[in-house]
A and B are shown apart, each in its own frame.
Chain A
């Protein structure tokens, strides 16, 4: 596999300080990456640095083997062969859908333009009837598809998507994220999605970077981010879960008040060290026959399941996902069992 994009130690700064701090990652040809993080974490700035709207003070951006930016040098945006979909779509309001889509198709014959436009209409499932409409007549979902078609039309080396689903209904987002993934994969396009919604990122990306305060904390697939977070912040940001105290027994075991958890302890932790253990809601199973009990403090109905907030004897709280036919009232004591496959521990 060839590398489509490589960032080396990218640092971007403004008068107030660093916005990005030594960010590095690589993305292979045809892969979809995602930058995930709370607002203000620098993910949009990172995307704009790849696009060439921002210049790093330090570090290098390589696109398809070409050095595109560093501290002294910046290939202009228009020469980078990138496509970008903005949060508000930014369709040209004075052009029809057709003109919007073919805007970037310069240096093509009329026939080639028509061919490529037709291809995209097919790929994105746009209605042929709306091709001569102006953008303000389209619904949000349609505008989003047109924006995507416009960005994909010139076959960009990398497609950059800046929270493209943020203005859509919550129900639509995950579904569209999946659809867009299928479309991009069909066309073999390398893409980066910026999002603050993890479900959206999970549905779309092959590889995800979690960002916080200008740093890229972890660059990994969704499964590993969830089950093998490399730091406290990633564990905290991805999925639900609560940290409970534990004590290291040996390299492979940690003791907690709800039982022993097996796995690899982080390096450098000696026996007897105090650690925080991440307990996911699916790590705690409800079992009426179990001897260990916890009191129901709160519960949230989620259709097939309840998310219970439980209090252990030591007043420590944990979360548990329980099939929703186990409907227990508040303050009732229920039996629980630990069923953790992964050990996620950080020194206290």
Chain B
């Protein structure tokens, strides 16, 4: 017997049989969970391999071109606008000090709390013909309704404005991190070589941050592609609205699946883009040392300009819509906030809470499994299980519905032929299916958080625990979980808020007459009762501020070498 195997014999604690059973099969369970969770995506993807010529012909002749053009148009517009709105403030708040710069550093993230559809409803309320802007204009000028031209918010241009105003923080966040991580020496050395600060920005800082900025951009594009609420409300035909219409309007599930599959190819391209950028970024660090990041104090003129430039995204993306929501909620709460409103809150909290806890449990199970028993199947399982985050809610809903409908129909058919009774729909249209869809979509959020937290626990701690005779599950319970309590709470909160905000999958999969805050907001807005929608919208936004606080906390600690001189 070799020395190592003796060691293993000595270190292996005496296990309780039921644990041993679970542990010996741990990677089996991992693979099983991964397969079940990636099933909806595989189903949609699989439909690509059984293309139905008739359907494609029909789609091609009718709507396909419009979907693709509109989606590309939105992506181009939102991408360009989000780049400008994200990168410039990121550079200004990182490099310079001006009035409000420290507040703006985290305030620029606030639009993340606004789901795009809520911003869309709010700005429609503001810019509509009966809204405060046009009314004010008429009062000042004395014009009548048809006397003047006013840009229509319900247009592709309007959607680009709305989506970029809430999505730019992804670019801002990653660009800012990249600017900070660039060893400041690189910028200083450029100046010693005769480079002024504008040339240094374009020649050094921007090229170095490019991989991060592209990664942020690809997140923005994924979210743009996945958006349903805004484009539906503005009546723009894109992939998401198309899938919805094909399924519910035309009742053609096969065509919806084909469209979903095509859309998923777009997403895959974006994932590839993001992945490549992150990979390249590793080579963009020649240094592990950081020197003091001294923010340059701007002169009064430039300082005010910088403050204005950086305030615009916060005002447009958060303060204005939030302010109007507050005002409308104040006007309407007496007749909106009643028992049915609390039912909405209860439904939302129930769904979000159960999903968040289940996601945490699954994430802990999978991440610990990979840590304690690392193997290629375990790593692969985790990547598969986390795939859903990039997939639009509409596509996931289609992917979830198809297999469950198949199960329901098969069971029903069998029961009828064998016993002559009909089971009807067992699973479809139940909360079970909805929660399952949330897990598919958002497991990655808690998985990433838990994995990152586990990675921070050194392997020697495991080894010490195991040599002290602790069983791996005991180790998890007694050592790992207490050590990562903070991160686990973060994981729960992030999934909770994501589920609370989720619209398209909830719309499609919810049980009949089961309403949530997001769905009710959507319904009221579509009935043109924008002010009445404010209370439920505000509840979602307030919950959405939680992750913003979490991220900005991390941000304030993320300035390497700050306040440190030699």
Contact = CB atoms under 8 A, between A and B. Distances in A.
Interface of A: 14, 19, 39-40, 44-45, 51, 53, 76-84, 86-94, 103-104, 106, 134-136, 143, 150-151, 154, 156, 160, 167
A77 B207 CA distance: 22
The 3 tightest CB contacts between A and B, nearest first, are: A104-B193, A90-B185, A88-B287
Nearest to B207: A94
A108 to B, nearest CB: 11
A83 B195 CA distance: 12
Given A40-B566, A78-B194, A150-B193, A94 B284 contact: yes
B186 A45 contact: no
Contacts of A90: 183, 185-186, 188-189, 286-287
8 contacts: A51-B192, A77-B191, A77-B192, A78-B192, A84-B189, A90-B183, A104-B193, A134-B283
Contacts of A167: 289
B280 to A, nearest CB: 10
A90 B204 CA distance: 11
B193 A53 contact: no
A14 B192 contact: no
A86 B566 contact: no
B285 A76 contact: no
Contacts of A106: 194
Contacts of B284: 93-94
B186 A92 contact: yes
Nearest to B287: A88
Given A77-B192, A134-B283, A167-B289, 6 more contacts: A45-B566, A53-B188, A78-B192, A88-B185, A89-B286, A154-B194
B553 interface: no
Contacts of B183: 88, 90
A157 B185 CA distance: 20
A125 to B, nearest CB: 21
Given A104-B194, A154-B193, A89 B287 contact: yes
B192 A151 contact: yes
Contacts of A103: 190, 193, 195
A136 B283 contact: yes
A91 B565 CA distance: 22
Contacts, number: 92
Nearest to B208: A94
Given A78-B196, A84-B189, A93 B283 contact: yes
B565 A19 contact: yes
Contacts of B204: 92
A82 B192 contact: yes
Nearest to A167: B289
Contacts of A93: 186, 208, 283-286
A96 B284 CA distance: 12
B291 interface: yes
A135 B566 contact: no
Contacts of A51: 188, 192
A45 B158 CA distance: 52
A91 B188 contact: no
B188 A77 contact: yes
Interface in B21-66: none
B286 A87 contact: no
A85 to B, nearest CB: 8
B500 to A, nearest CB: 41
Nearest to B282: A136
Given A40-B566, A44-B566, A91 B191 contact: no
Given A91-B286, A136-B283, A86 B196 contact: no
A86 B193 contact: no
B286 A86 contact: no
Nearest to A45: B565
A77 B190 CA distance: 10
A93 B195 CA distance: 17
Contacts of B190: 92, 103
A14 B285 CA distance: 30
A83 B565 CA distance: 21
Nearest to A44: B566
Contacts of A78: 191-196
Contact of B289 (A39, A77, A88): A88
Nearest to B283: A136
Nearest to A137: B283
B208 A84 contact: no
Interface string B200-220: 000010011000000000000
Interface string B334-373: 0000000000000000000000000000000000000000
A326 to B, nearest CB: 42
Interface string B269-306: 00000000000000111111101001000000000000
A14 B286 contact: no
B192 A87 contact: no
A10 B288 CA distance: 32
Contacts of B286: 88-91, 93, 135-136, 143
A45 B566 CA distance: 7
A194 to B, nearest CB: 10
Contacts of A136: 283, 286
Interface in B136-184: 183
Contacts of B193: 78, 83, 103-104, 150-151, 154
Nearest to A103: B193
A78 B189 CA distance: 9
Nearest to A156: B192
B334 to A, nearest CB: 52
Contacts of B294: 53
B289 A84 contact: no
Contacts of A88: 183, 185, 286-289, 291
Contacts of A154: 193-194
A82 B192 CA distance: 6
A90 B291 CA distance: 11
Nearest to A106: B194
Contacts of A135: 286
B260 to A, nearest CB: 39
Contacts of A79: 194
B521 to A, nearest CB: 45
B565 A14 contact: yes
B479 to A, nearest CB: 36
B294 to A, nearest CB: 8
A191 B52 CA distance: 75
Contacts of A14: 565
A156 B204 CA distance: 21
Contact of B188 (A39, A44, A76, A86): A86
A14 B207 CA distance: 33
Nearest to B194: A78
Interface in B71-88: none
B283 A76 contact: no
A84 B184 CA distance: 13
User: Of B186, B285, B288, B294, which is in contact with the most chain A CB atoms at under 10 Å from its CB?
Assistant: B186
Contacts of B188: 51, 53, 77, 84, 86, 90
B565 A86 contact: no
Contacts of B194: 78-79, 81, 104, 106, 154
A143 B285 CA distance: 13
A87 B565 contact: no
Contacts of B192: 51, 77-78, 80, 82-84, 104, 151, 156, 160
